[in-house]
Structure formats: C-alpha cells, structure tokens
Amino acid sequence: MSQQAILEIEKEIIEDFALFDSWEDKYEYIIDLGKKLPVLDEEHKIADNKIKGCQSTVWLVAAYEDGRVFFKADSDAVIVKGLVSMLIKVLSGHRPEEILEAKLDFIREIGMMTHLAQTRSNGLLSMIKQMKNYALAYQTLQGLENK
C-alpha cells in the first residue's frame, strides 16, 4: 500500500459525507461508527495509553507488523469515538512514512475541524500527534535494524 491508499480512503470518506444533507445524518453516521468500533480490552486502558482531554478520554495502542503500523483505540464519548474510528480507518495498516506524510485534509472537508480545534475538551488532536509519534518511532527502529 502506498500514500495513494491513505488519500484514497480519505476520498471515500469525503464522498460518503457528501451524501448527507443534514447535520443529523452526518452525526448519526459518526455515532454509528463510534458504536461499531470494537471496544478496547481493559488491559489496554492504562495510563500509558491514555490521551486525556478536558472532558473526554481517548486510549490508543499501536503495533508494528511487517513494516506496517496498526492502531486500536477507544474513547468514553461516542462522537469522539466515531472520529477516532475514521482516523484508524485512514491511518492503520500503513507504513510509517505514509502515516507521517498524511495531511488528513478529510477532517476539514467533512466539516469536523471544530472537534480538532477543541484541543482542551477532547484528546483528538493529541491522538493524531501520538499516531504520528508511533510511526516515527517505528520508522527509527526499522532504520536501526536495517543498519
């Protein structure tokens, strides 16, 4: 999979959102995504994986297999969880460099920037930074192994 793949997924999400005519449809879809995202095992809900917002919390775990980074995450608030679900859909399973280069413009395109701007109330922006931090860490690790 290449960088194109991330953009492809983003494009699909943007196209999905273009079909909604009301804010209700949009949010019902996000809530549905949130509900469908598998619950993270309790063993992962530890302080190290916690990205604490002022109001809601996100938990993020990463794994590195065959040169690709896989993410799992959860939140105690369902709308945030729906947005988390989209971020996983877009970024999980890609190579570290692809994740690092991802601009994630789809968030703006689907009108969800407001939730990222509220850095204090939820952990979303910190979560994206943390996903990129993992990618960077795995990239570095791989570089060391290849030497």
Partner 1 sequence: MTQIDSISLDLDLQAIRSQFPILSRTINDKPLVYLDNAATSQKPRCVIDTLSDYYGRYNANIHRGIHTLAEEATLAYEATRFTAQEFIGAASAEEIIFSRGTTEGINLVAYTWGRQHISAGDEILISGMEHHSNIVPWQILCQEKNAVLKVIPVTDEGELSMEVYKSLLSEKTKLVSIVQVSNALGTVNPVKEMIDAAHAVGAKVLVDGAQSAVHLDIDVQDLDCDFFAFSGHKVYAPTGIGVLYGKKELLESMPVFHGGGEMIKEVSFEETTYNDLPYKYEAGTPNIADTIALKTALDFIQNIGKATIRKHENELLAYATTQLESIPGLRIIGKAKEKVSLVSFVVKGIHPQDIGILLDNLGIAVRTGHHCTQPLMKRFGIPGTVRASFAMYNTKEEIDILIAGMHKSIKMLS
Residues that bind partner 1 (CB under 8 A): 23-24, 27-28, 31, 54-56, 76-80, 115, 121-122
CB of 132 to partner 1, least distance (A): 24
Looking at the Cβ atoms of 92 and 122, the one nearer to partner 1 is 122
Of the pair 56, 139, the CB lying nearest partner 1 is at 56
Q: Looking at the annotation, which residues are catalytic?
A: 54
- CB 75, min distance to partner 1, A: 8
Least separation, in Å, of the C-beta of 123 and partner 1? 11
End-to-end C-alpha distance for the chain, whole angstroms: 24
CA atoms within 13 A on the CB side of 61: 13
Nearer to partner 1, 93 or 123 (CB): 123
62, 122, 130 from 58: Cα distances, Å: 13, 8, 11
DSSP character string of 49-107: GEEE-SS-EEEEEEEEETTEEEEEEEESSHHHHHHHHHHHHHHTTB-HHHHHH---THH
